[in-house]
Structures are given as structure tokens and as C-alpha cells.
Amino acid sequence: MNSTIDREHAIDQLRMMLLIRRFEEKSAELYSASKIRGFLHLYIGEEAVAVGVMASLAPEDGVVATYREHGQALARGVSANRIMAEMYGKQEGCSRGRGGSMHIFDAATRFYGGNAIVAGGIPLAVGLALAEMMRGCNTVTCCFFGDGAVAEGYFHESMNLAALWKLPVLFLCENNLYAMGTAIRYTQAAPDIAAKGAAYGMKATAVDGMDVVAVEGAARAAADHIRKGNGPYLLECRTYRFRPHSMFDTELYRTRDEVNQWKKRDPIDLLARRLYDTGGFNDQDMDVLEQSVAVEVEAAVAFAEAGTLEPVEDLTRFVNSERSDA
Amino acid sequence: MSKQSATVETSYREALKEAIREAMTRDERVFLMGEDVGHYGGCYAVSKGLLAEFGPERIRDTPLSESAFVGAGIGAALGGMRPIVEVMTVNFSLLALDQIMNNAATIRHMSGGQFNVPLVIRMATGAGKQLAAQHAHSLEGWYAHIPGIRILAPATLEDARGMLWPALLDPDPVLIFENNTLYNLEGTLPENAVAVDIDKAKVMHTGNDLTIISYSASLFKCLDAAKALSREGVEAEVIDLRTLRPLDDATYLASIAKTHRALIVDEGWRSGGISAEISARIMEQAFYELDIPVERVCSAEVPIPYARHLEEAALPQVDTIIAAAKRMVSHG
Ligand SMILES: Cc1ncc(C[n+]2csc(CCOP(=O)(O)OP(=O)(O)O)c2C)c(N)n1
Ligand SMILES: [Mg+2]
């Protein structure tokens, strides 16, 4: 982090992680106030993964997300305003209020949706990549999924298909050690997820998912590998969620102590400390970031509050294509 | 008259748990498996505490592998156990649809009666919690299309408590659908609550003016509607189907013979749904009893939306049921 470019980039990365953190803290608050409903899955603790990975993607690349996708969406560049409005159920939301927290879609950033069927997005990403390859586009389709998803048949079938057809997919596993309340030790006979990629004949590595610099480096290497026509790549990011699985989780399955141990490796602190240590970044700079993030979050809330409800007469719109859509 | 037995305050969730506990205690072959049933305590907290009580052999946390663990449940049933498989919600059961349809429902027939599958699968169903289109559908009507399985839809505490044991005694696969809005339903049950009949529908409110046929969470909307209608002098008879396959035709046909009007209320979609099946049966078996055509109040033909006002608009509501009932009564 010696050149100014690196420093500026690192500060951008820090700001994005901070934005995700504060945006989600606000979301939790709004959930308690019943402004946001349904299921709300927070990404807090895992910010380095999405922020690191998105930096390796180009605008023309595609992204398939999970239901824990506010961080993935924000880091991809989906507007905070429209994500918040979506969670408010307003028609200004990125999915017109039809999807909510778990179903953020944004065509402009090729963000193919939060998917709430665990592993349900994986075959979709394979198909998107197939289309890109057949159309001669040299893009990467990045598919996010959790450690829990690795147990689904979809994962295994998709890994094989993508490797078999040498498809340009970046399989991005966010291994936070738990699928809801079930620890990976209770669900995986062979818990080394990266090793599974190798078993399907694709290049696979694991990286410290709390370290955004390491994640970005690993994701860039993976994306390069894919862009060179070497087929898919499985990148396992080892991370941890600081918050409960969703807003309904009493966390009977893990100790406070375990959570606190992981919090010592908070991805935001890790990067901030590194910036402090290399000099040229201080408390004042941090305050500036906090303030700019606070402004953006407040603006998102204001946008959502001011949003409007879609008329009930439109309930059955978009079930089928309208003439004007075609 | 018979002595009133003591009652206990309970909830739908607790009643289900008591039923599981009773079954596990009565029959060593019974075990529960599914995602988060153990350490987490069940995604709807139905099995909370059972891991400590029965241990990890009989309260089995599974990986996220619906197809594999439902299939394993079928295998274990074939192999002499009495598994209760919990699938978190009906939407996720679609990952195991192949196992349910192509194995559980067919093996007895395909094997010429040599093998049977005494399996119970429980799952949550239904909308109402703003969970959007991958968590909120009511597909029990779909499952009721499949020969070879029994479909139960407990709405009341009695049924939540009493349907599991007879389901486990059934030599064939039984699917139990628990509407997600019912888990917090509270009320009282006799202390010595027992198994209930799983063959018959039940008249929940009597009346002579029209018959409202429903099940699961919609039943309560129908009962509320019936109360409101009664205040306006319209007496509706409300029937809880309870079992969607095999359907107990006799109960609703007897009611229609009295009221001559039939309204079906279903949280599933109208097209090709269980309401269509019931309507067809009424046509086949009670056409000349009807004063006016059968009517239906179902969910709008749309994937369930997130926004509250749209979700509410998509589902049958007390108002829409009342409106349909009044229209029917005034027409004939
Ligand atoms: C097919 C399917 N089964 C079950 C669920 C319920 N569920 C939602 S999230 C989740 C845990 C997933 O864990 P993981 O893939 O590790 O992702 P994480 O939540 O940790 O980010 C479960 C069991 C679901 N949404 N889809
Ligand atoms: Mg996980």
C-alpha cells in the first residue's frame, strides 16, 4: 500500500465496507421499527468478501447473489436508495417492492438477484456463463453462495457442468462456518470446501475472508484465470457473520466468546489499522468517511420514506411479459 | 354427563412438539430429521429442546440437502424405521419433489405391494409474513394431486396435537402441512389430548344459508367471516377439510344438500388447484343440489409479493370471503 493509487483504492474499499456496515445497522433498526419486514439477513462481519470480490469484476461481468446480499449489491454498485426502498416495499425499490431484502435485482449492474433458495442461484450462474461463452463475450459470471449451499445437489451438479464445459464462472463461497444454526462440522464430512473444486477438476483456492486486500488479490487471480479461458474457479472466502442468521435467531448454537474472538478480526478494523500503520491516514480521515457514509445512509432512508406504494391494481403485473416489454 | 377433563394452555407450536415427543417416546423407531431441527431448535422452534431430551441419534440435524435427506427418510422407512422428516417450507420441498413423487408415492405400487413407505414429512406452508415469492407459497394442493400419499393440513390445536400419531401409523407416506401463520396460535387442549381421526372433514360452524369449504389458516378467516355474516342474518356453515388427500367428499356434500350453495376458500392459486378439484366433485356429485354456481376465493395468480399491501391483496381475506358469501346468498 505504498503508491497513492493503492492508498486511494484502499480508502475506497474501507468506505464501501463502512457503508455496508452502517447501512445494515440502520436496516436492523428499521426492522425493529417495523419499516422493514420479512426476513432480513445481515452481512455484518463479512464485508471484506463482497468488497474484495467486486473490485475484481468489470461492469460487463455478471453477478448472482444470495439472500444475504445487501453487501453484495452495494459493493456491486446497486444504489443504496433503491435497495432501501425495496426493503420498504416501495415501487421505487430495485425490484419494485415485490422482492424485499432477499430479492434485490438490478439489470444495470448485471446483478441477477438475491436468491432465497439456498444454492438455487448456482445453476443459474452456470447458464449465464454458458450464454456469455456462446455469444463470444469474454466475461466472468460471479456466483455467491454459502457453506451451507455446498451440501446441495445443485452445487455438485453445477461444479461438474461448469468444469466439463469450461465455463467462465467464479464460484464464490462465503464460508462463515454456519448454515443458519448448524455448524459446518455437523454438515460436511470433508469440510475443506476448496478441495471439492479440485475434485471436480477446476482450480480452487481458499483465502482469509476477513482481509479485503487478500480477498481482492485472490479474486483478481481467479478472474484472470477465468478470462484467459481456463474455465471455472472456486474461491472459498473464510469469514464469519457477527450478527444472528436473521432477525429471528436466538443463537443457541454458538457462544458469545466465539463471536467475540472473530470480532477481533473485524474486516473494517483490519483495513483501517493497516492504513493507520502505513501513515497518511488518521482519525480525522476516518471521521470524514463515517460522515460521508452517514449521509448516504440517511439519504437512502429518506428516499425510501418518500417512496410510494405500487397501486394494488398492478398486483398481477410482471407475471407475464407485457407487450411493451417484448 | 361425562366429567370435564383438565385442560392446558398451549400453542400450535407446542402442540406439534408434544406430538413429536409422544411419538418418540411411544415408538423407538420414530426419529426426527431435517435442517436445523437440533442445535438451532427448529426453524419455527417446533423441536426446541428435543435434542437435549432425545440426543443427536434421534434428533438429526441434516446438511442442506433436501433431496438427499427426504430420500434417506424414504429409505429409512423402507428399512423399518418410522422417520419424521421436517422440510423447512414447502418451497424448499421442491428440491425433494422427485423423491416424494417418484419414490415415496410410487414404491408400494411399483413393487406390486411388496414394499411400503411409512414416512411422515412435515413442512411449513403459506404466506402472510412478507417473505416473498420463494418462501410463501401454498403448494399442498399440488401435492394432493399425487396418488399414493396422504395430505394433512392441521388448522386447529387439536389437529396439530393429534394428527402426527395416526400419520405415523399409516403404512404409506403422509405429508403434514403447517401454515406458517399458525405456529403462534394459542388456546387450550385437554391435558390428555389424543390422536384424532385423519379421514374426515369437520363442520366448524353450522348454518343453513351457504357452505364455506376451507382448510388450514384460511379456515380462521372463514370463521371470522361466518361470525360477521351471522350478525347480518346470513348463516354460513364452515367446513375444515383437514385432509386434502383423500378428500372427504361426504361431509361437504351433506352440507351442500342442506345449504344449496358452495363457496371454496383456498390460499393456493385458483387454476388447477384443490379448489378446482372440489368444485369439480361438487359438480359431479351434487349438481342438482346447487341453487347457484360454486364460487371460489383463492390467491391471486401471482408469485407472492413482498410489499405488505400487495401480499394482502394477493391472499383471500375476510372481506373478500364475506363479499362472495353475500353475493351468493342474494343471488338465489
Ligand atoms: C433450499 C433451501 N433450504 C433451506 C432454506 C432455509 N435457509 C435459509 S438460509 C439457510 C442457511 C444457509 O447457509 P449458508 O449457505 O452457509 O449461507 P449463510 O446464511 O451462512 O450466508 C437455510 C437453511 C432455504 N432458504 N433454501
Ligand atoms: Mg454459512
The whole-chain average pLDDT of chain B stands at: 97
How distant is the Cα of B130 from the closest Cα of chain A, in angstroms?
A: 5
From chain A residues 26-85, the ones with a CB under 8 A of any chain B CB are 37-39
Q: Which residues contact B94 (CB under 8 A, 6 or more apart)?
A: B139
Decide if B135 is catalytic.
Answer: yes
C-alpha–C-alpha distance, residues A4 and A275, integer Å: 12
* Per-residue confidence band for B1, with pLDDT thresholds at 50, 70 and 90: very low
Is A153 in contact with B65 (Cβ distance < 8 A)?
yes
From chain B residues 28-57, the ones with a CB under 8 A of any chain A CB are 35-36, 38-41, 43
pLDDT at A325: 55
Domain with CATH 3.40.50.920 in chain B: 202-331
Mean pLDDT over B83-107 rounds to 98
Q: Count of H helices and E strands in chain B? A: 14, 14
> Which CATH homologous superfamily contains domain A7-308?
Thiamin diphosphate (ThDP)-binding fold, Pyr/PP domains (3.40.50.970)
The Å distance, Cα A179 to ligand 1 centre, comes to 6
Q: Which atom of ligand 1 is nearest to the CA of B134?
A: 25
Is A97 in contact with B65 (Cβ distance < 8 A)?
no
State whether residue B292 sits within 8 Å of chain A by CB: no
Can you give the pLDDT of all 326 residues of chain A as single tens digits?
556 669 999 999 999 999 999 999 999 999 999 999 999 999 999 999 999 999 999 999 999 999 999 999 999 999 999 999 999 999 999 999 999 999 999 999 999 999 999 999 999 999 999 999 999 999 999 999 999 999 999 999 999 999 999 999 999 999 999 999 999 999 999 999 999 999 999 999 999 999 999 999 999 999 999 999 999 999 999 999 999 999 989 999 999 999 999 999 999 999 999 999 998 899 999 999 999 999 999 999 999 999 999 999 999 999 999 876 55
CB distance B35 to ligand 1 below 6 Å = yes
Which of B38, B92, B300 is nearest residue A315 as measured by Cβ atoms? B300
pLDDT at B2: 47
C-alpha–C-alpha distance, residues B263 and B256, integer Å: 10
State whether residue A114 sits within 8 Å of chain B by CB: no
pLDDT at B5: 75
Domain with CATH 3.40.50.970 in chain B: 7-190
Tell me the backbone φ, ψ of residue B297, rounded to 5 degrees.
-115, 115
Is A187 in contact with B64 (Cβ distance < 8 A)?
yes
The pLDDT > 90 percentage for chain B reads 97
Which of B18, B135, B140, B260 is catalytic? The answer is B135
Each residue's pLDDT tens digit, B108-133:
999 999 999 999 999 999 999 999 99
Decide if B260 is catalytic.
Answer: no
Each residue's pLDDT tens digit, B226-278:
999 999 999 999 999 999 999 999 999 999 999 999 999 999 999 999 999 99
Residue B44: is its pLDDT beyond 50?
yes
Q: Given 3.40.50.920, 3.10.20.30, 3.40.720.10, 1.20.120.160, which CATH number is that of B202-331?
A: 3.40.50.920
Fold of B7-190: Rossmann fold (3.40.50)
The pLDDT > 70 percentage for chain B reads 98
Residue B4: is its pLDDT beyond 90?
no
SS3 state at A65:
strand
Q: How far apart are the first and last CA of chain A?
A: 49
CB distance A148 to ligand 1 below 6 Å = yes
For residue A38, is it left (φ>0), alpha (ψ between -120 and 50) or beta?
left
Mutate to test the pocket of ligand 1, among A46, A118, A242, A245 (most ligand atoms within 8 A of CB): A118
State whether residue A121 sits within 8 Å of chain B by CB: no
- Which of B158 and B4 is assigned the larger pLDDT? B158
